Structure 1
């Protein structure tokens, strides 16, 4: 890895070597990886140092003719489900071959830090702010030792795309703010103290905003998340909220480092997570999954002519064998392919929570049929499937 300095850098190097040994690939420096000429979903994906890429739950930033892949740096064993190193970064000019750029955001050794080693860092995404010249990293954060109770999002910034990123803050979004179009009569509606979960009465209360009310003062929960920068350079933070029952789309401030307080709810009580938003021919598409823990389920696709909605449910965009399990994966990002017409790649994770370092990547082409995105399985494929 690059930027290895002192003990921290040495530990990062050891982590890379351990990854190579555990996954049966060559140790860094013993052999150069043969150049990839396509994608093989679900197989080991070796970087240019012949080590399995370690960037789970990730996202892509295209900057200065180069793709940058940011993701969760995992380690072996169940402890690897917590952040032991931080957020990793890789670079590529062709999407096939990736160079390890090191740890972009390091966890802290300081006890009590929001990003203390052993916290949970998930689904990191980076966007570039043209006004400030800063690279802005957001991620889902759970505080060390608190399970998934904190339900925060966090932001870090850097002057260089590969980092190092400086942690700024963590928070729950939209503190004290009601979503767009929320009826006044529901803002003060009272609910029974102990509604039984999963009953029709409980679902109705969730739909109306039971958890929205509960979290208003401290800010809304934020877990699985995504960033999206629109054509007008407005940026949005899309996240699973209300105990993973409702997706929120929140507008970011002009510097991309905070929330304006403007946000909307998508399909309240719909139980959606793993959002991945993209735009095609003026239409917004949002992929998500159901909530079944680490186990895969059927993908869900939504469509809208405005990012604020209304959103239309389109069903599962996957077709073929194992489509009902999203080909044993969960969405994390949709990659627009530069220089290709109508070219987008579904970017998913095949989770292995007992040994998270061995998680695999499922990248598949999105093709448009009757103006709808469709995803089919390919054992192997390359970018020639798209029109130049």
Structure 2
């Protein structure tokens, strides 16, 4: 009876996403937080995602979720959708498939694959995907970043490796006197002022110096000169790291810096306007939403200046019940950027929704305001 009930529950949940909308009916607006049907009328399944623009087409990559609490594990892989208008999306299928259960692969079925991002390398002609990876049955202890590569934006992507970045290298903005400290993480009371000071002065960087730094929530950014950067939550989610990638985007150069040490930031999303870099992050409250943070810098390696919560109005204290994942530059429109975020549904992962809002600048800081629906004419 329990098996039958479980089947009915999962089947009913799946049916919930086969929408009544005709597959040929096109959408005209973005409705944040609502079901977002693809061209076949099925809710888009690309969570924690990012956007690649290539040859006139936007490609949306994200975590392919399944029904129920187990749906946050990687049971299928990474999905991809394509669009020419950022509103109507075609399902391009699963472009990175997990390996079989029992294979022992880093991306074995049941591992955790989060926040996949894809960038195109003009020198090599390769499409390069990096994502946060947790090994199967290890909870969130592995804290690795992982690489997959393809010859086509829609895959298939071939898994190459997973690792912890920047072993045996110090960040650029690290005082030389901190390198020789011997204090350990267990020597101080967690969250005390003294402990926070030691975290800011490299407590966990020294701990992970030999093995490489932890890497969880992440994004990628390609600057105007073609240099690519990997930004990720590290040091037990206490500090963001920004690391330069090699020219082929397949590894780390060893040039990296810390952002907001001991600030407890995750979910980084970055954009550039008028020569200045802007970063939107969240705090760390698990699947629950919190108030977003924003920062600005003249150089990606910092220093970064805190600008406060970019969200305004009702719901701002929880970022409109969402968490940042990426910022989309709108092609053909000057200074047009979309804040891309997720509403997580941990009890039924496939029911996660998307909150996309236009970013506007006011007094040198990015601003987010709730809109029930909107379209790209907003930027006109």
Once the two structures are superposed, what CA deviation does each residue of 1:86-145 show, in whole Å capped at 9, x if it has no partner? 000000000000000000100001521000000000000000000000000000000000
The question of 1:83 aligning with 2:77 is answered no
Describe how 1:203-352 pairs up with structure 2 within 5 A: 203-352=196-345
Q: The residue matched to 2:71 in structure 1 has which SS?
A: helix
Gaps of 5+ in 1: 1-16
Give the TM-score normalised by structure 1: 0.93
CA contact 1:33–1:47 (8 Å) conserved in 2 = no
Once the two structures are superposed, what CA deviation does each residue of 1:56-109 show, in whole Å capped at 9, x if it has no partner? 000000000000000000000011010000000000000000000000100001
CA contact 1:57–1:71 (8 Å) conserved in 2 = yes
Q: The residue matched to 1:357 in structure 2 has which SS?
A: helix
Counterpart among 138, 147, 150 of residue 130 in structure 2: 138
The question of 1:112 aligning with 2:104 is answered yes
The whole-number CA distance in structure 2 between the counterparts of 1:128 and 1:379 is: 33
The question of 1:25 aligning with 2:26 is answered no
1:33 shift after superposition = 5.0
CA contact 1:20–1:51 (8 Å) conserved in 2 = no
The question of 1:45 aligning with 2:39 is answered no
The whole-number CA distance in structure 1 between the counterparts of 2:238 and 2:75 is: 29
Please report the RMSD computed on the Cα atoms of aligned residues, expressed in angstroms.
1.5
The question of 1:188 aligning with 2:188 is answered no
Describe how 1:128-167 pairs up with structure 2 within 5 A: 128-167=120-159
CA contact 1:55–1:72 (8 Å) conserved in 2 = yes
Q: The residue matched to 1:278 in structure 2 has which SS?
A: strand
Describe how 1:51-90 pairs up with structure 2 within 5 A: 51-90=42-81
1:234 shift after superposition = 0.1
Instruction: Report the counterpart of residue 9 of structure 1 in structure 2.
Output: none
CA contact 2:18–2:42 (8 Å) conserved in 1 = no
Q: The residue matched to 1:23 in structure 2 has which SS?
A: coil
CA contact 2:322–2:341 (8 Å) conserved in 1 = yes
Q: The residue matched to 1:342 in structure 2 has which SS?
A: coil
CA contact 1:285–1:303 (8 Å) conserved in 2 = yes
Tell me the number of residue pairs that the alignment of Structure 1 and Structure 2 aligns.
Answer: 369
1:31 shift after superposition = 4.1
The whole-number CA distance in structure 1 between the counterparts of 2:288 and 2:28 is: 30
Q: The residue matched to 1:202 in structure 2 has which SS?
A: helix
The whole-number CA distance in structure 2 between the counterparts of 1:385 and 1:79 is: 38
CA contact 1:19–1:52 (8 Å) conserved in 2 = no
Describe how 1:90-105 pairs up with structure 2 within 5 A: 90-105=81-96
Describe how 1:1-20 pairs up with structure 2 within 5 A: 20=14
1:320 shift after superposition = 0.6
The question of 1:362 aligning with 2:358 is answered no
CA contact 2:18–2:41 (8 Å) conserved in 1 = no
Once the two structures are superposed, what CA deviation does each residue of 1:4-57 show, in whole Å capped at 9, x if it has no partner? xxxxxxxxxxxxx9875143525xxx9415200010001100000000000000
CA contact 2:14–2:67 (8 Å) conserved in 1 = no
Gaps of 5+ in 2: 1-10
More displaced 10-residue stretch of structure 1: 234-243 or 337-346: 337-346
Once the two structures are superposed, what CA deviation does each residue of 1:330-368 show, in whole Å capped at 9, x if it has no partner? 000000001112100000000000101000000001012
CA contact 1:38–1:381 (8 Å) conserved in 2 = yes
Instruction: Report the counterpart of residue 169 of structure 1 in structure 2.
Output: 161
Instruction: Report the counterpart of residue 7 of structure 2 in structure 1.
Output: none
CA contact 2:51–2:58 (8 Å) conserved in 1 = yes
Consecutive aligned runs of 4 or more in structure 1 exceeding 6 Å deviation:
none
